[in-house]
Amino acid sequence: MWPGFLEQWKAEEERQWIVTQGSGGGAEEQATPAVSRAPVPAPVIQANDTHQEKEKDKAKISKPDVDNTTLVYRGIVFQLNFDQTIRNEEKFKMTRKKDDLVVVVQVHNRPDYLKLLVDSLRKARGVDSILLIFSHDYWSPEINKVVASIDFCQVLQIFFPFSIQLYPQEFPGNDPRDCPRDIPKKDALKLGCINAEYPDSFGHYREAKFSQTKHHWWWKLHFVWDRVRVLKDHKGLVLLIEEDHYLSPDFIHLLKQMTALKREQCTDCDILSLGSYSHIGYSSKANKVEVKPWKSTEHNMGMALSRETYQKLIQCTDTFCTYDDYNWDWSLQHLTVSCLPSYWKVMVSEAPRIFHAGDCGMHHKKASCMPVNQKTKIENILQSSGNQLFPKNLLITKRLPANGAGGVAPHVKNGGWGDIRDHELCKSYVRLQ
């Protein structure tokens, strides 16, 4: 087990080095080490203290210590990422062949939607051949219970080790010494908040809740391809989905057909996509695919990629990690025109095999946006198109424009990713061995 513990210490030391970058690197501003100790109360300033004494006492005030629950969570996460225990491994060892599909689900904390996704996977033909990986950034007994209920394929859980939940009062979570989001830089410098030098392109300072998703996405991509031991020599596809997606019963069948079509007619296709956000009727569309430049607004859902595509992508780590946009998909869009050897070509199904059940967003409370109603809506589409599913052959109906129009640059940079600590942590994932 020593290699696992060494990796944990290495990861923590690197994170502690990163966290000091926003504050000049003083030893007194190191991240709280992962050991338990009693909280240190802030000094009480008496009314008759001199100004000098107040300043001296102020300098002694340290950020809150890490509570024991957080330390327990950190320990669990590090151990599970090292152990990589695959559930149902024996049960499905005969049905899962080498290089069969890997499905990776990025999970936060929406258990009701996750139940819908699991329900859709349960109905998929050939699901007993997949390895289903859940990548979490939130430890939740309720979510773990949903995952534990899966009895139809092999399952692995991995955990983003630098989540807000694991670092609630220090970077990459919310450090009380960080600058307020909207404070002007000149005022931030006077205040002395630790990331005063690093607002984003719009003059705003980082918000951990928005930074986390991009961190998790990049860490997950690298961890799955290069750290999950059972995938060390994986030459098949990895399908990337999220907790609020819903899949059609023939999605595995379709990916196999798309893979064969790519081999025969589109060897330079980089990405296979199960569909875009438009709910096109299946009639006459179910056996048709298009080949076009990849766009983050259309093809960021149900992306399947090969190791070759991943290896090209990981060469662009610095560009991805320093691009000032907190959205992982818009950052990828930037890579397609700035760093990758050529813009991405995507083969996409005209009739979607993936649906965004959570597309109402977190602020919508109306009844039509409840998970059960979203499920009914999607299932009605699939049931009315049942005889169109599982096509025997696929046809490429549209290709890239004849004039060879290339990749598409992001029309706007969204910001939220100006902090040098985010850049360095993001870049560190590929260095941690």
Q: Which residues are annotated as a binding site for substrate?
A: 106-110, 137, 212-216
Alpha-carbon torsion (85, 147, 104, 132), positive or negative = positive
Sheet architecture: strand order including 154-159: 154-159, 131-136, 102-107, 238-242, 303-305, 271-273, 345-349, 288-293, 395-398
Retrieve residue 389's tokens.
């599913």
Pairing label, strands 345-349, 238-242: unpaired
Helix H segments across 324-395?
328-338, 371-384
d(CA 323, CA 77): 29
The DSSP code sequence of 21-73 is GGGT--GGGPPPPSS-----PPPP--TT--HHHHHHHHHHPPPPPPPHHHHHH
Residues making up the annotated binding site are: 106-110, 137, 212-216, 244, 356
Within a 10 A sphere around the Cβ of 352, how many other Cβ atoms? 25
Q: Answer whether 114's CB lies under 8 Å from 245's CB.
A: no
Tokens 């029309």 correspond to what residue? 411
Q: Are 393 and 359 in contact (CB under 8 A)?
A: no
Annotated binding site for Mn(2+): 244, 356
Distance of CA 46 to the CA centre of its chain: 48
Beta bridge partners of 83: none
Spatial contact of 133 and 227, defined as CB atoms under 8 Å apart: no
Residue 1 corresponds to which amino acid? M
Helix, coil or strand: residue 395: strand
Q: How far apart are CA 88 and CA 334, in angstroms?
A: 39
Using DSSP, state whether 132 is helix, strand or coil: strand
